[in-house]
């Protein structure tokens, strides 16, 4: 069963300072933890893909305009205080395993080494429709 684990960052409801204020050691510890997550998922044969994402200032929203031409809205997106920080696609034996991984990923360290407890969404990846449809 494949799942997408989406790590969100939310400025609302967090009790830690923005990452640009962390010490170099705190940032290194956070990045090292993400490396450990990836290494364990690879060792367990569960990692399909995973990437950190650029911040919202570099993101774009694209919608079809007249005649199907893309209409691009630049970030940051003032209407939300949340953004997608990264994702993993995992192939695991059960929904419970996907939830357990999400819980572990949420413990990524922040300032002072304390777990950030950032939300991680767990989405099943849908398979293709049957051939006879």
131 found inside a domain: no
Q: What is the CATH number of the domain that holds 21?
A: 3.30.70.1060
User: What is the domain extent for residue 113?
Assistant: 2-124
18 found inside a domain: yes
33 found inside a domain: yes
Q: How many domains does the chain have?
A: 1
Note the pLDDT of residue 27.
94
Better-predicted residue by pLDDT, 8 or 26: 26
45 found inside a domain: yes
132 found inside a domain: no
Long-range contacts of 9-16 (CB under 8 A, 24+ apart): 9/82, 9/83, 9/84, 9/85, 9/118, 10/81, 10/82, 10/118, 10/119, 11/81, 11/82, 12/81, 12/82, 14/116, 14/118, 16/110, 16/111, 16/114, 16/116
Kindly tell me if the per-residue pLDDT of 57 is higher than 80: no
130 found inside a domain: no
pTM of the model: 0.82
């Amino acid at each position: 069963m494949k799942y997408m684990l989406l790590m969100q960052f939310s400025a609302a409801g967090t009790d830690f300072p923005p990452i640009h204020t962390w010490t170099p050691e705190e940032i290194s510890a956070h990045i090292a933890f993400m490396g450990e997550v990836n290494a364990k998922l690879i060792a367990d044969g569960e990692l399909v893909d995973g990437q950190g994402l650029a911040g919202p200032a570099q993101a774009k929203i694209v919608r079809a305009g007249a005649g199907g031409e893309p209409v691009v809205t630049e970030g940051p997106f003032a209407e939300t205080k949340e953004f997608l920080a990264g994702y993993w696609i995992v192939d695991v034996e059960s929904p419970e395993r996907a939830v357990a991984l999400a819980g572990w990923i949420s413990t990524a360290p922040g300032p002072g080494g304390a777990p950030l407890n950032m939300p991680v969404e767990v989405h099943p990846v849908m398979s293709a429709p049957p051939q006879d449809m």
